[in-house]
Amino acid sequence: MSKLDNQYWDSVPAERPADARDTVERLRSYIDEGAYAPGDRLPPERKLIVDLDMSRGALRRGLDALERDGTIWRHVGKGTFVSRTGQGGFSSSSDWTNDVARQLTPLRMVRARVCIEPALASEAALNSSVEAITRMRLAQERSQAAQSWEEYELQDDSFHRSIAEAADNLLLLGLFDQLNKVRRAVAFDAVMRSTPRPPSDHSSFAEHEAIVAAIEARDRIGAQAAMRRHLESVSDRLFKEE
């Protein structure tokens, strides 16, 4: 476990897959039974731990899973908020996401990211807190330690969302989350991986470091440029080297 992990997470045993699924379902039931509506803030972690009778580490892993699928969103210092209720919530939004994804090529998806995420990086350089930068560093470390491409993609997703969150603008964060839902729905099946996990010299690692360094230095222009270079590099690797 890294130094940042030790600072940020409790040292707890890893959950079995069945335990992790149970944690997520218990959280979903808690949201549904509590009649939490989109935009409502959930109780603080210390109350959820008591109400759900689970460890802090298990709770945070469950919240991570709900955040990845768009059920909740979190803002450092402000709390955890409901994005949609239950599996069937916001069906019209889901239908829109799937409809757009069916019509969007992976290349056009990357180009949409190039239009939006550099601006988010610029705002993050202006507004990010120390805690927000810590979250970026943690996601960055975890992506480098990933033992599979699937795990890398999860941590990469967390890294980019931590930047959107650091911009400290709920509207921009909502736009990013909608963009990310479409991104997840776009099929990248054609992308072939030649290794079981990212190699140690994977170019995204250095690119992520450049983005965080610029944000930490409050360099808005540098952060914007670093994010643009990163996304264009991703586009080159995925679509121009084939």
Token readout for 131 is 């805690």
* Position 37 confidence tier, pLDDT thresholds 50, 70, 90: confident
Positive or negative, the CA dihedral 16, 32, 161, 114 is positive
Ordered structural domains, the chain, with CATH: 3-82 (1.10.10.10), 91-240 (1.20.120.530)
Which positions ≥6 away from 184 have C-beta within 8 Å?
none
Structure letter (DSSP) for residue 201: T
Token readout for 150 is 């699937």
Angstrom distance (rounded) from CA 99 to CA 93: 10
CA-to-CA separations, 211 to 107, 108, 137, 240, in angstroms, rounded: 22, 23, 11, 23
Token readout for 72 is 């909740």
Q: What is the pLDDT of residue 180?
A: 86
Q: What is the pLDDT of residue 45?
A: 92
Angle, alpha carbons 86-90-93 (nearest 5°): 140
Positive or negative, the CA dihedral 13, 86, 110, 211 is negative
| Least-confidence region, from 106-110, 119-123, 158-162, 214-218 | 106-110
Q: What is the pLDDT of residues 128-182, one digit of tens each?
A: 999 999 999 999 999 999 999 888 988 999 999 999 999 999 899 989 988 888 8
Token readout for 230 is 């990163």
Q: Does the predicted TM-score (pTM) go above 0.85?
A: no
Angstrom distance (rounded) from CA 163 to CA 166: 5
Contact 83, 73 (CB under 8 A): yes
Q: What is the mean pLDDT of the chain?
A: 83
With a cut of 60, say whether residue 6 has pLDDT above it.
Answer: no
| Least-confidence region, from 76-85, 153-162, 186-195, 198-207 | 186-195
β strands within 60-141, DSSP E: 72-75, 79-82
Q: What is the pLDDT of residue 87?
A: 43
**DSSP for 154-169, written as a single string:** HHHHHHHHHHHHHT--
Q: What is the pLDDT of residue 232?
A: 93
58 backbone dihedrals φ, ψ, rounded to 5°: -65, -40
Token readout for 133 is 């930068």
Q: What is the pLDDT of residues 144-157, one digit of tens each?
A: 999 998 889 889 99
